[in-house]
Structure 1
Amino acid sequence: MQILEIFGIAVALSIDAMVVALCWGAVQPTIKASHILKFSLVFAAFQALMPTLGWFAGGALYSLISAWDHWVAFLLLFFVAVSMIREAFEKGDDNEECECRSMGSDIAWGKLSMLAVATSLDALAVGFSFAMVKTPIAMPAIVIGVVCAILTALSMLAARVLSEKAARHSKKLSLLGAAVLLLIGLRILFEHGVFA
């Protein structure tokens, strides 16, 4: 898998974390450097951990499903993409406002960790798909974590200016992320001669 594809996956997986960071930042009177560091580290850690766990699970099962590995990888990416599409349409109107006021001005580590798990579950399936196409996980996990940390930090820094616009366009961002994952899944099938 090429670095550009891994970067595309990382950006797609970071969209939910970015939206949460934007929404939280938008309702805060002040955003401190400690808030940015806290959000970035927690979201990045889970975004890097989940594909690693998925990869180990996939590696353990690989011998059982090696004849269909490309289909498993495609179906997992397809599942994540469909999940992103469904979430996009469940978000309601594009003009919907962020509903992060209930998180409080100094979010607890436990609550932040739960949000990080919820926004990184898709990465578990992506890690499983990496195992199916025999892609080592170290570099993708690092890229996914670093990209998530950077995008989360940028989202919080830009929260005051971009929060309303991001909330209005979160559906489009989710659909774009889903399209990236579907295209990568189709490329995996193409490389395995499914369309030949």
Structure 2
Amino acid sequence: MGHVLESTVPKRVQPPRFLTVMVVSGITLALTLFGYSTTQIYLRFSEPPDAEGALPGAGATPAPTADPGGAAPADPGGSAPDGSTSVSTVSYQTVETSSGSFTGQVTVTNTGGSSLDDWELALGFADATVTDAWDVDWERTRTGIVARQPDWADPVGPGDSVTVSFTAEGEAQSPDSCALNGAPCDL
């Protein structure tokens, strides 16, 4: 009978050693600090817009505005890599509208004699927010969008065109400013 009672009596448990407690505490503290630091890094990517209103990563260059006189520059395409000039025309059309949003297309046609490479198209809107664009590298700016030639795309040859399609929230409207490679363009 003593043998049965002996098995039901709890045995004395040794308290944890000081070194074991310190190691476990150190690991716990290190994991907590690591988790906190990665949270801070993650939160950095969701900072509010800077003082100029650009989204993080959008760069500090807002979309240029058109010339008040509406005159098209002599060289809206900029310079080609070989030093010659490349003249381009830019046209816009609203493709689809719905309640509170629209889809637009901007077509850039190379009317010059040399290829248009590494192009950049900046569009500004009075009262619309671009939410998506496709077949281009793009970023939202305070007033619109900057679309760039994707790395995988070929240069726009003489007589060829490239189309930038996008969706935006707001009433259907034409861009109120346009710049191709930094030079204002008419739509």
TM-score exceeds 0.5: no
More helix by share: 1
Higher RCO structure (Cα 8 Å, ≥6 apart): 1
Task: Provide TM-score, normalisation by structure 1.
Answer: 0.27
- Radius of gyration: which is bigger? 2
